[in-house]
Amino acid sequence: MDVGNLAHPAEEVAPRLLGAVLTHEAPEGTVSIAITETEAYSGSADPASHAYRGRTPRNAVMFGPAGHLYVYRSHGLHWCANVVTGAEGTATAVLIRAGRVVEGEDLARERRGAKVETARLARGPGNFCQALGITAEHQGANLLGGARVALSEGEPVPAALVRAGPRVGVSKAHDWQHRFYLAGDPTVSAYRLSPRAKPSAGA
């Protein structure tokens, strides 16, 4: 995809980010990960979005401009990385759920653990950030501006491999078909329905 053109609705950008590469040039080395799974969150129109109830200090980055990194802590344990999309002020973003390490595997393994299987190094949003070395320090990073954290085009992904399904682990609007992933890819995380999930209107 044209990673420089992210000012579109999250549900349009999310499948197009599959195959794109997120790179972090840290002092200890560089890790690059090709994205294999994403989820779209549509701001004030989406009950599962952090921006559903409006702007806060936590979610301010989501309100634009597109192409910046929104980082948050999940359950007080793991960092999660999101690519801000859409027109400025719409607060839409794409959660990066999983990927395949294409550069810096030794460093990614050092961060994740020596016994972690290769396919699991960046499987799941928390593991993705840990392998890449993303923390709150990178909140608001301009992914298109030549920063140490950058988004670039990767190998083209055949359209036949792209699948859509319900989002993982959210209790509201969980059944929206806003999760996108590469069929058969071992790095894609397992689907889990939240025990608090209830049927909702689709989008």
C-alpha closest to that of 140 among 49, 80, 30, 62 = 62
Name the pLDDT band for 40 (thresholds 50, 70, 90). very high
What is the mean pLDDT of the segment spanning 68-76?
A: 88
Mean of the per-residue pLDDT values of the chain: 91
Task: Examine residue 4 and state whether it is found in any structural domain, yes or no.
Answer: no
Q: How far apart are CA 63 and CA 61, in angstroms?
A: 5
What is the mean pLDDT of the segment spanning 25-35?
A: 97
84-117 pLDDT tens trace: 999 998 899 999 999 999 999 999 999 999 999 9
Task: Examine residue 202 and state whether it is found in any structural domain, yes or no.
Answer: no
Q: Which amino acid is residue 8, in one-letter code?
A: H
- Output the pLDDT for position 54: 76
What is the mean pLDDT of the segment spanning 19-45?
A: 95
Task: Examine residue 155 and state whether it is found in any structural domain, yes or no.
Answer: yes
Residue 122 sits in a domain whose CATH number is: 3.10.300.10
Task: Examine residue 201 and state whether it is found in any structural domain, yes or no.
Answer: no
Q: If phi over 0 gives left and psi between -120 and 50 gives alpha, with beta otherwise, what is residue 45?
A: alpha
- Beta-sheet strands, E only, within 69-188: 69-74, 78-85, 92-103, 149-152, 162-165, 179-182
The total number of structural domains that make up the chain: 1
What's the Cα-to-Cα distance from 140 to each of 123, 126, 148, 150, 167, rounded to whole Å?
23, 18, 12, 12, 24
Q: Which domain range does residue 140 map to?
A: 10-182
155-181 pLDDT tens trace: 999 999 999 999 898 878 888 999 999
Task: Examine residue 198 and state whether it is found in any structural domain, yes or no.
Answer: no
Task: Examine residue 67 and state whether it is found in any structural domain, yes or no.
Answer: yes
- Output the pLDDT for position 1: 61
Please give the model's pTM, rounded to 2 decimal places. 0.92
